[in-house]
Amino acid sequence: MADLDTKSHPRQGGPGKYVYLVKSRRAGGLSLGINLNADKKCNFDCAYCQVQRSSGGIPNPSIDEILSELEPFLKSYQQAGHWQGMQIKDFALAGDGEPSLFGPLPELLNSLMKLKTKYQLSAKIVLFTNGAKITRLDLDSVWPQYFGGNNQVWFKLDFWDQPSYLRVNGAKGDRGQVLEKLLHLGQRYPLTLQACFFKPEALAEVDLWAAQAWVDQLKGLLNQGLKVEKLQIYTLARPPKEKQLAPYSLGELNQIGSLIRSQLNLDLALYA
């Protein structure tokens, strides 16, 4: 689940192989990214994916490997009170694939919550997902403490019907399965929804029909009890997998934003 800001802003280096630092406009400061999918495997094959898979991946980290990179950094951060003048705003569980596929995800979330307490960090944990295994049973016992502790799940919802699901996300199966997973978690806890809008080619016009269909789908989900904390609409920021795709300008993205705001009373952020 490619993270908007890890892809649109260069990684600043960082404590190690799996933990990296990003100056993030989304987070409003320093984001501490953890790449749970160093093997670059994902259940989606998005047309706009910006993960460079040609170079191949490396084995995914163990919890110990992640913590051995994270803890020394957090110790020095705590002693200094900042990193290069910036505060850590969040721990972003993203990377080069889908984080809910990461085997020991429940243990990692519990470890990160303990580290937040140990180092007295107000930073939130943000788990990015396309929903693949977000309903796995071993996560169920983690959610109450997770959501109760100022942590969030950012759920990717780019499609608006079955053809767009196949086209945009390059996924297999029925989009209804994704929507069921979204509702399974989102009826209990408020989620942030993320959608990437882009043009099929540079000279294409804004596709307000697709945006309207996306809004209609979301209205249906809200009617079924989906809780939405925030919407994030963004566009391409680095070369996508399909080279002919083109980003929207801020003005074009604002047209989509206006359409959404005119029909949904939700907190909406746009990133062009």
Q: Which spans of this chain sit near ligand SF4 (rule: CB under 6 A)?
A: 1-2, 42, 44-46, 49, 51, 97-98, 130
Sign of the Cα pseudo-torsion (43, 57, 9, 81, in order): positive
Question: Cβ of 233: how many Cβ atoms within 10 Å?
Answer: 22
Closer residue to ligand SF4 (CB): 32 or 178: 178
Smallest gap from Cβ 248 to ligand SF4, in A, equals: 17
- CA pair distance 11, 23, nearest whole angstrom: 8
Tokens of 161: 């019907």
Crossing angle between the packed helical segments 63-80 and 105-118, to the nearest 10 degrees: 20
Residue among 49 and 153 whose Cβ is closer to ligand SF4 = 49
Q: Would you say 93 or 121 has its CB closer to ligand SF4? A: 93
Nearer to ligand SF4, 37 or 152 (CB): 37
- How far are the Cα atoms of 1, 9, 70 from residue 6, in angstroms, in the given order? 11, 6, 17
Q: Which is nearer to ligand SF4, 34 or 67 (CB)?
A: 34
CB of 158 to ligand SF4, least distance (A): 8
Least distance in Å: CB of 68 to ligand SF4?
25
CB of 85 to ligand SF4, least distance (A): 31
CB of 98 to ligand SF4, least distance (A): 6
The rounded distance, in Å, linking the Cα atoms of 26 and 166 is 28
Q: Are β-strands 19-24 and 88-94 bridged in parallel, bridged antiparallel, or unpaired?
A: unpaired
CA–CA distances in Å: residue 80 to residues 75, 84, 85: 9, 9, 9
Strand, helix or coil at 19?
Answer: strand
